[in-house]
Structure 1
Amino acid sequence: MTSPTGSADFDFLLGAWTVHHHKLAGGTWVDFDSVGEARPVLGGAGNIDTVVATLPDGQSFEGMTLRLYDPGADLWRIWWSSTTQPGRLDPPVEGRFRDGRGVFVGEDTIDGRPALVRFLWSRITPDSARWEQDFSFDGGATWDPVNWIMTFTRRTG
């Protein structure tokens, strides 16, 4: 997964996807599907992807991720925004891929509490990938169970 400079680590994600979401919301697991697309930006030094869905309650949902590669630090920074919190660009998580697994961590506030947020990328093939999110409220000593899983399946045609 890791290129000599790391700048191609997210190339697997470029293109069109069907994304299955399994998300913990208010103590209840919610499942829904979205369509997504990722494209390169800044001459390949980054990428943007979007997901668009109708939630089980009928509400529209749209999310956007911006990923930028920092060659000097050999790491990626990832920002997330969605219609769930309009006008907000979440603080970035940062990290890299090692042995086919991407780990990205950053600071945020969850339900009014300082927390670490972790994104994990795994199970990456040409036609599928898995993303997970979890939180730590003790500086990374322990991590709460995963609270959001997205399973990506490449769309063809």
Structure 2
Amino acid sequence: MNMLDNETARGFHDALGAPARAADIDAADDVYGWLIGSWDMDVVHYRVDLGGARRRGEIHFGWVLEGRAVQDVWIMPPRGERHTGLAAADSMYGTTLRLWDPALRAWRVTYVNPLTGQRDELVGRRVGDDLVQIGTHADGTPIRWSFTDITRDTFRWSGMALAQDGVSWRLEAEFHARRRRA
């Protein structure tokens, strides 16, 4: 990358990133700001039960778009363990954009993973102590993604999809995250 490319990339990142939540979003509506920072995760379930097989990943969250959105990057395996030829089923390098919608009084959530073509649309809200995001996969399958067991430095994230029977929910993914220390 030449000097012009570095300056261009830095300009893009500076324009995208924001130092904090926008002033017109009330603190009570800021349900995702606590996530800002970097996290390590243990992969418990990713399409199959991985309880016996150690899988790890990393997640990075930041305020973007003048503080009116929280964007993240979910990476599995971590960048230091990635290699060419990695099967798409064993890999994740996707991003979520959570946009505050004042008319809806909720967050519109879009996740994309270019490697697998996954695209999901949801609406996120606080429900008790949890953050619950409800929506659909691109094929119309209803989904429910939740942040639970939330502390300042840990959380559990699970993704559920409605099964073909239209009644039961199946676990598609579960991650246990720990905040990285500087």
Q: Which has the larger radius of gyration?
A: 2
Cα displacement (A) at 1:147: 2.0
Equivalent residues of 1:96, 1:103 under 8 A apart: yes
Does the C-alpha gap of structure 1 residues 142 and 102 become closer, same or farther in structure 2, counting only changes over 3 Å? Answer: farther
Q: Which runs of 5+ in 2 are unaligned?
A: 1-24
**TM-score (norm. length: structure 1):** 0.78
1:64 Cα offset (Å):
1.1
Matched ranges for 1:60-79 at <5 A: 61-79=92-110
In structure 1, the gaps of 5 or more residues are none
Q: Give deviations 1:34-89, integer Å, cap 9, x for gaps.
A: 12210001222211111223389962541211111111111111111124424x5x
**Letter in structure 2 aligned against 1:101:** D
Task: State the distance in 2 between where 1:45 and 1:72 align.
Answer: 14
1:6–1:75 Cα contact (<8 Å) kept: no
* Cα distance change on mapping 1:83 and 1:19 into 2, 3 Å: farther
**How many angstroms apart in 1 are the aligned matches of 2:107 and 2:100?**
4
Considering fraction of residues, name the structure with more strand: 1
Percent identical: 20
More helix by share: 2
Match of 1:131 in 2: 157
- Counterpart position of 2:13: none
Cα RMSD (Å) of the superposition? 2.8
Instruction: Tell me which of 49, 61, 66 is aligned to 2:72.
Output: 49
1:10 maps to 2:32? yes
**TM-score, normalised with respect to structure 2:** 0.69
Whether 1:153 and 2:182 are equivalent positions in the alignment is no
Aligned equivalent of 2:62, options 18, 24, 39 = 39
Distance 1:61 1:42 in 2: 24
Aligned residues: 147
